[in-house]
Structure 1
């Protein structure tokens, strides 16, 4: 037996000779004796099991059935929701056998639990294995029939152990991106060939690999370009480079949906094996899942992690590679017109622009993956899920993976996934949202903002909310439960809710980490590791409320989710009432924050008020003093004297502006309208209204004389449903129809870009894709339907009118004057 020490990267479950195995693909840990590290694979036997609920069934009859089938069972006590019960644990050598047993027992009305847990996830939980963390085991080298191309070892059962918390912080990565032939900008994998494939990576010695493969020869001095004789040879060379580079991870940007499926399709069509998997398999495309998998090499489609988890708080029009690269790296894609690629390819001209573009995309993808890897790694550690799975998870799946892990630790039976009927019923239910205090439109001086720290998580923890503790039954003694405000629910104080217990642990860990971080900052030490962990735990904790109401959740509880928002509304109302009683002027409140104008009060008095509120809050709940803002603006709603909800702007003492709800953070508005609105808000919040009006007049004059670039007039609108289901035809729908008629792929969820040009007829008839505009943009449309609407509410607050902007000499209008 050898002692192996390695970083586990990828996992795959196989069944051989009526026995289940998990294959662990990893990278050997470098030591003083090893000049280089090798990839290896560890084969570990894995038995699957399930739990049979004994409550309400004939136990003797069940035991006789199991005896007839020669199945051994073990009686165990485990907690199912609020009650501890007896179960029979059945262990079988394969997951397939467990699923067959489940089918048979369900026909006999026996409740079977935990069959639907993925066998790899079950293996990791049972063996307490954390992906990407140093792992040791006892093993011997073997050969088997799976055609594993790495050094293969058989692990001794139960020998896995994490002796240290060392993480694999710098895996070797290879980014890949393709460009395809496309005369009508429509994806056709069967018909249209791949024209070039770019690869960009860095090995464990820091040496950079950057290469563009293509089979159209053209003059170039770029040594990164490699010319092949055909598409087939290009694909063969791509597989060769991947095999030679031997990356720990392959990274793409939307590779699940485009690059890897396209490569697989073209390879199959041209007879290229493309066996890049570590068991001599090609790219795997599981049915009913938009996922591209390479066995033994985690495929990191970084687009999905950014869109689902990492970048959800960003204010972007879309999660395009260009937008994300600018947000994270302050870099941009190279600009080319891909609609001309087919023609340029046919005529062998300007192809160096496209190869540069292709390579830049891989470089950006590589750098983005490196940038977010510490957070990705941290999530893998916390929820105990491999990176290949973690990257594709959304918030609710993150929570569920974590609960499965903690459920085993707490001796809790994990409920089964809901049936299709249960999901359909859950989707019909709706939960009342947060309380919003309507503001009075105006400019305000000296604003302070109070914010509940992690409101929903702390409500759950402080009130023991969980599927097993929410009840409609009134307790015998009121001190045994909390009454939910505005509802006929009660929350039992015992037993301790699993969700509340787990969340309390997360909150406590975050508190400790924050203290550690302060210490490191004081000592001027690196805080990146703690920052990643704090961020990951924050995201996880804030996802618990959504999980309560998620229709696919194992621990779903409509009453639980409804109770959380009811308690939250109640606490916000209490703070508003207390603030008013203390002489503060409450301007606005929304979800978890309260905004107050100090007037004759001081910041010190505001801090004292927060301290008094916190003395009465239960458990982990805490109201924070978020900040002081010298100026704030709240605007009104169209046709209503009241203030707009979730629409305001604040400026702090460092001149940083926080904008919520305006066009600057929304789609469906042209760039020029966003720019003018944001700039005017800056002028207003810095008491430079006259300068702001002069600025607007100049910009509007430029629009009227067509001096504003066309790209600033582009409007982006999302197709929220299938194109054929639209009855009302707006400009974006009309343009989408034009795109479809020209052969372009159009689908629900895509952003349609268009410009409204001059001409007669309806606006929709004058809307064009930016590349198809053949007349100047329509000045009248952009002023009346884009620019002025974006400014109107602000103008009203500062007592100015649109007429001043559209006429040469406008008189000052009377309206809202001065500060509140």
Structure 2
């Protein structure tokens, strides 16, 4: 039994060292392997029989004798079928020597049946036909997976970063490329001669291609690679007629594949899928996500570290932003001498101080490599399990992107028919429980963590999807939980910083990701093949019972409950308690829970501000302030307000109410004296309306971001473009220059202020509407502290320093308050929503 389940999870072909797979619809596959013993790269040219699944043979009846049972054996120009066992709409595996012949035969028969022409298999309903990209067809049929017996560090990785004269590849140019070689060395390639000369730029791109071919990496990566570098490079190469021979085989050039996050390529929604696979037939339901595309090449995996950052922040929610500079500083990857230049100034600085730009660009690729190693291990480990290309798993959601391929492979290995996606019976998903017990400031706070509550309940009560008659999902969860414990133990036993430790930690993280997605998979009706909202609601019901028991038992032991959800419980303990008392209470309550549900002591904090569900601030006994939730961490929030909020929160959680007042007064005075730079009051906004759409409705409603674009002569823009806007004096809309790539995020303000302060000041208009932002400070940012103060203290703390009251009370005796709610508020925990988000693109 264990062997079968291991095959479901890991595949069955033990071939080691696969670093890339490329397959074509005509049945040709190329596999590149890095031999674990010698590090040598070998190439295998193989043939395979492309396949797909059909609900019936009706559309192939016109083939006559050319359609034969699989048992008769393959023959040239014949199509074979294998009927799968058991119930399931998709019950025929159809194979042929050439996938295009196979598609053509089905479309011809379906067109006759429907009485209308058909161009693509995606024109047929998903309950009729199911086809995967050629690489996945090959991997599922062969039982192979990537990276067997290879540690993460065995891959040859190359990072490159473009520096451009502007954002528009139609008019702007590439003038410099920084590269980091697989051995860790860095190199800078620059334009020779006139920057405005086509031949000079074409020569630069040719040297870039030559360097990549010479170093021959398995992986090419950068931060925002698919959002900026590759689309810009592809457009410039096309304009200049430079063949981008970045792959290891085939004709030069980048190919396209659909993706949730990537380049819009001028807003086209019909970009071809990778290697001829039909968009909408990639193993999941059709969605609008396929309006965006990514690039791919044979023999190399194109990895964007932005995906790993988004995946990390979706669960941890601890990052100050998603840009390279912010994340590198957060994780300690940025050195003390890290060169920083605002994106809009890079080309200008290069003309006067090229060495500075060279250092800046090399720091970028070094940090991208550091991020890849720190956060990219999960995707690497997933590629050891799931039958997909490594680069696709890097930007895939765990449910549709990982579990679905695993389930498909398991069912085909067992010769069992597969269900099609179903819309559901109208039953809604009840959602996870989230309770708010108190608001305000609590002291001596403990967090008790419920480890993987919903998967644990699925295992404890054997709750799986009704249509999963083989029990594959539960079997996968069982195996992953058991093997994750083994991976964690092996990681602890390995030397800190060693490749072995890194590999086992990555494996553990990947397994946790898949395990925690199992509940979401159940509830994602219409998006996942075995979705079962009734099973998901049964898991939720048990979860509410466990959470209720947990809260009752904790309260009975003398603690004050603050917030509880499926991740765990925050509670405040009496001042006299020691850490041993806190751990004892958690252990006592843990012993009362179902056997597979584990409650663990997860941390202790000096104070906590409970603002709203999932929105709180924590002050550890030692360490920096921790902020959670959009009330305290929002990419759209004005930096000056967030800076005030952090200073005020540190004082508030220390019980220093006069300090909160001082933070407020200093910020108001800085606004009125205009010592705060304009970029600190600007909001980062994503445009969601096309220029024509906004202009058509402008007379009815005017919106600041679009007015800022128009006021600056921008009459055309793209949906998804990110800009920085602010309210200027006289009600005008102000627009700030945007960095050269979305990821740089104005280089995150504070890091640049020391080095670039004078540079910014000389160009800063400081024409923002002071009184508008003063109101914003009080009504938006200060309001988040209201639950921690009495109404009288709040009014006194945030009284206008320019118009003080004659009767302002003394704040020396003021203290933060905690309000225990008579009726705890219950909310749905949106973080447990079964539908995948763009943070974990699928």
TM over 0.5: yes
Out of 153, 173, 188, the position equivalent to 1:211 is: 188
Aligned counterpart, 1:534: 508
Q: Does 1:324 align with 2:324?
A: no
For structure 1, which segment, 607-616 or 563-572, has the greater mean C-alpha deviation from structure 2 after superposition? 607-616
Pairs aligned (count): 710
Contact map agreement 2:608 2:617 (CA 8 A) in 1: yes
Unaligned runs of 5+ in 2: 1-13, 72-80, 115-124, 257-270, 273-291, 739-762, 820-842
Q: Deviations over 1:28-61 (max 9, x none)?
A: 5554xxxxx654321112123456679xx9xxx9
- Partner Cα separation in structure 1 for residue 545 and residue 496 of structure 2: 39
What is the CA–CA distance in structure 1 between the aligned matches of 2:775 and 2:562, rounded to whole Å? 31
8 Å Cα contact 1:334-1:360 kept in structure 2: yes
Deviation string 1:241-282 (CA, Å, 9 cap, x unpaired) is: 222222222223333343333333333333333333323522
In structure 2, how many angstroms separate the alpha carbons of the residues matched to 1:755 and 1:63?
Answer: 62
Q: Does 1:735 align with 2:708?
A: yes
| Superposed counterparts of 1:11-410, under 5 Å | 11-14=21-24, 20-28=27-35, 31=38, 39-49=41-51, 68-74=65-71, 90-100=94-104, 102-103=106-107, 115-133=130-148, 165-167=149-151, 169-182=153-166, 185=167, 187-189=168-170, 192-203=171-182, 206=183, 208-216=185-193, 230-286=200-256, 287-288=271-272, 290-308=293-311, 313-316=316-319, 318-331=321-334, 334-336=339-341, 339=344, 354=357, 356-396=359-399, 397-408=401-412
Larger RCO of the pair (alpha carbons < 8 Å, separation 6+): 2
Q: CA distance change for structure 1 residues 446 and 301 in 2, over 3 Å: closer, same or farther?
A: closer
Are 2:722 and 1:756 aligned? no
How far apart are 1:23 and its partner, in Å? 0.8
Alpha-carbon spacing, 1:599–1:105, altered in 2? closer, same or farther (3 Å): farther
Would you say the 8 A contact 2:18–2:34 is kept in 1? Answer: yes
Cα offset, 1:526, TM superposition: 6.4
Taking structure 1 as reference, are residues 433 and 730 closer, same or farther at Cα in structure 2, changes over 3 Å only?
Answer: farther
- Cα distance in 1 for partners of 2:90, 2:233 equals 52
* Deviations 1:585-604 (CA, angstroms, capped at 9, x unpaired): 33332344333333499566
CA distance in 1, matches of 2:348, 2:186: 30
- 1:548 touches 1:557 (CA, 8 Å); kept in 2? yes
TM-score (normalizing by structure 1): 0.75
Scaled by the length of structure 2, the TM-score of the pair is 0.73
Shift of the alpha carbon at 1:454? 0.8
Other-structure match for 1:801? 794
Task: Decide which of 610, 615, 618 is 1:634's aligned counterpart.
Answer: 610
516-525 or 116-125, larger mean C-alpha shift = 516-525
Deviation, structure 1 residue 505: 1.5
- Three-state SS of the structure 1 residue aligned to 2:145 is coil
| Whole-angstrom distance in 1 between the partners of 2:134 and 2:33 | 19
Is the CA contact (8 Å cut-off) linking 1:52 and 1:111 kept in structure 2?
A: no
For residues 768 and 108 of structure 1, do their structure 2 counterparts lie closer, same or farther at Cα, with a shift above 3 Å needed? closer
More deviation in 607-616 or 294-303?
A: 607-616
Which residue in the other structure is 2:432 paired with?
Answer: 434
- Which residue in 2 is equivalent to 1:499? 473
CA distance, structure 2, for counterparts of residue 273 and residue 280 of structure 1? 12
- Structure ID, larger Rg: 1
- The equivalent position to 1:792 in structure 2, one of 779, 783, 795, is 783
User: Shift of residue 437 of structure 1?
Assistant: 2.4
> Is 1:668 aligned to 2:671, yes or no?
no
Alpha carbons of 1:586 and 1:801: their partners in 2 closer, same or farther (altered >3 Å)? Answer: closer
- 3-state SS of 2:432 partner: coil
- Counterpart mapping for 1:605-624 below 5 A: 607=583, 610-611=586-587, 613-618=589-594, 620-624=596-600
Root mean square deviation, CA, Å: 4.2
Please report how far the alpha carbon of residue 620 of structure 1 lies from its aligned counterpart in structure 2 after TM superposition: 2.1
Shift of the alpha carbon at 1:358? 4.3
- CA distance, structure 2, for counterparts of residue 30 and residue 446 of structure 1: 54
Higher mean alpha-carbon deviation, 714-723 vs 598-607, is at 598-607
Provide Cα deviations, 1:445-481, integer angstroms capped at 9, x if missing partner: 33333332112222222233333169xxxxxxxxxxx
Correspondent of 2:546 among 563, 571, 586: 571
Deviation, structure 1 residue 214: 0.6
**Structure 2 residue matching 1:556: 3-state secondary structure:** coil
Cα distance in 1 between the residues matched to 2:185 and 2:22 = 30
Equivalent residues in 2 for 1:520-559, closer than 5 Å: 520=494, 527-550=501-524, 551-559=526-534
Q: Is the 8 A contact 1:77 1:84 kept in 2?
A: no
Partner of 1:510 in structure 2? 484
CA contact (8 A) 1:5 1:28 kept: no
Q: 1:273 to 1:652 in 2, by over 3 A?
A: closer
* SS of equivalent to 2:632: helix
- 1:784 offset after TM fit, Å? 1.5
Whether contact under 8 Å (1:302, 1:369) holds in the other structure is yes
